[in-house]
Chain A
């Protein structure tokens, strides 16, 4: 069936099988940052934004994105580098395999929550598993990143 959607603001029209999973569709379009870490919707590695909301691309049919906008980390390289820099400065990217999905959810959180508390941060990011870091370095990076924005707000 035919679908039309925007991946990172670029329009794609394609003829796909209705059971095509969004994750596979995105990888076939060169968005190789999108990773699969499980088959049961539990790991968060495949997180992308659909109309700005974080979702699991492994659990979404590509047709569900018909007419909609999908964002992957390939489409927000500047933001990813900025937050990624904080992550790198903690050594908390480690193997990096969960990083794209994690970073997409951090950016979704920044857009959705105003001045989140530590508990709110942890709750928002609970669906992003990481086996390397033990999460502490990620939390340090997120807090420093958000602090930078709250400083900017205070300054303004």
Chain B
């Protein structure tokens, strides 16, 4: 059973950062994962008084505070409008509305879970994290950094005109994904993210010139799948995941190019 000795609602980021230096203390996000563990927390650090629960938009970007819930992202009109609804689409399968009203985007991204739908979606976009000490770092870099004591304050997504699409394969509707996929396109540049392999999401890119043929897409997808690793867990085998990756990537590309058939 997890326990907490002391609970502190941090009054400043500095205070939160200092407290979080100790391994026995922990920042509380939605608390969904912490609660299921056996961690004995000396001081639980709550960031909810630091005005980090807003989604701010300007001409260049969206800035999403780490205490925003997954439901905030899922239902944010402009955010979804700007990126072809992929926030709504990638989040709606996660357990239920009540759970998504608790889970925070900071907790989700900080944890860098293999099965993360939202990490998959964000990696396909021009996304960054803003750390209290580490500053602004591309998400694609942050994904591979070790878990440390810095505080993830915000997620930043640049509006660079990308068109995006995402999908996943699940054995049942609200289960963890067997595979997640997001694809984005900006001019000739294509960003392909495959997650839940079951390892965490990985970004690959390729270019497609204006007079491309269907073979070019097939070859590019083949190359991507060849270059990323897949594994086996109780939800699916490595071989099956490779088959799924092919189907999901191509469907997302198709959706971006042709409007697709699978916009749900």
Contacts and interface: CB of A to CB of B under 8 A. Distances in A.
B98 A127 contact: yes
A126 B174 contact: yes
Nearest to A20: B4
A54 B95 CA distance: 13
A99 B101 CA distance: 20
A21 B48 CA distance: 18
Interface stretch (A35-43, A88-96, A139-147): A35-43
B97 A59 contact: no
Contacts of B48: 64
Interface stretch (B25-33, B79-87, B234-242): B25-33
- Greatest chain A CB density within 10 A among B6, B7, B174 is at B7
A40 B36 contact: yes
Nearest to A101: B98
Interface residues of A, number: 29
Interface in B1-51: 2-7, 28, 30-32, 35-36, 41, 44, 46, 48
Contact of A59 (B3, B5, B32, B174): B32
A61 interface: yes
A126 B170 CA distance: 15
Contacts of B28: 61
A138 interface: no
15 contacts: A17-B4, A39-B36, A54-B97, A54-B98, A56-B98, A59-B102, A60-B102, A61-B44, A109-B97, A125-B96, A126-B95, A126-B96, A126-B174, A127-B96, A127-B174
